[in-house]
Copies of this chain bind each other. A is one copy, B any other.
């Protein structure tokens, strides 16, 4: 098969996107859970089945208040440090210029490096992905009160595949809540079951797209008809709970979040674990790879 994508990437593109003139919904071609459950698995059989079926799993109060306090303290210090300090891996709110995300914390920061290697996390990741794993991307996100902006629906995998050359769906995200999440402070919403469909998007990826896309999504945006179909089938869930809760979600689940006009900020630690069997190839977009702090190639 000779497609444009194959010219720049010798890995066969089983999930083409931003190539066709019309959007389409394709079946997922990879497993969701890469291990068979046994009594010694780090998740119960029910949890495993829930994750396989729905594409996410919410672990209520998985970490202690003390652990959360230490991470919040560190986040505060980093925010204050980057207030004046411009840095490539720090993303700000479009209007207020407040620090919204700090990338590569698993690499640059001792405390978050330890968290990324926490056995309570890696054991689950290795189980679900059926191999050793590494951090594809990490960041701490800070969604301020009053002015927290919405983040439109997207599949992370679509972007990681097209822009980073991640070959297959063998990665998952882990979001650790540093604040109590509730229905009114812009918590993450997921469309259960949507991880089993791949929404192929329209529109070619422009060069250096990542500089804008981290603030405002314009390419790799799923079309309204596909979103409506997925939401009609699977509904919409907004897993909420106390600080220290962990949301695991498959790399391909459709997710997004509304704005936060409440007075209460929402912050979390976000880490993506990828299987060592699924390391990045060349981007399928034909563009230059994104920087290492967004898509780790240094392993």
Name A residues whose Cβ lies closer than 8 Å to a Cβ of B: 145-146, 150, 152-153, 183-184, 186, 189, 224, 227-228, 231-232, 236, 238, 256-264
Contacts and interface: CB of A to CB of B under 8 A. Distances in A.
A261 B153 contact: yes
Majority secondary structure, A binding face? loop
Given A258-B260, A263-B224, A263-B231, A236 B189 contact: no
B262 A259 contact: no
Contacts of A184: 189, 236, 238, 258
Contacts of A256: 261
A227 B258 contact: no
Q: Taking the full assembly, how many copies of this chain does it contain? A: 2
The 4 A-B residue pairs with the shortest CB-CB distance in the complex, in nearest-first order: A228-B263, A183-B183, A259-B259, A258-B258
B224 A261 contact: no
24 contacts: A146-B224, A150-B150, A150-B258, A150-B259, A150-B261, A152-B261, A153-B261, A183-B183, A183-B238, A184-B236, A184-B258, A186-B258, A189-B262, A227-B263, A231-B262, A231-B263, A231-B264, A232-B263, A236-B262, A257-B261, A258-B258, A258-B260, A258-B261, A259-B259
Nearest to A230: B263
A31 to B, nearest CB: 28
Given A153-B261, A224-B263, 4 more contacts: A184-B258, A189-B261, A231-B263, A256-B261
A228 B258 CA distance: 20
Nearest to A146: B224
Contacts of A258: 150, 184, 186, 258-261
Contacts of A152: 261
A224 B260 CA distance: 13
A98 B258 CA distance: 20
A146 to B, nearest CB: 6
A145 B224 CA distance: 9
Contacts of A232: 263
Nearest to A240: B183
Instruction: Output the residue of A236, A238, A257, A258 with the most chain B CB within 10 A.
Output: A258
A153 B263 CA distance: 10
A263 B186 CA distance: 17
Contacts of A227: 146, 263
A153 B147 CA distance: 11
A59 to B, nearest CB: 21
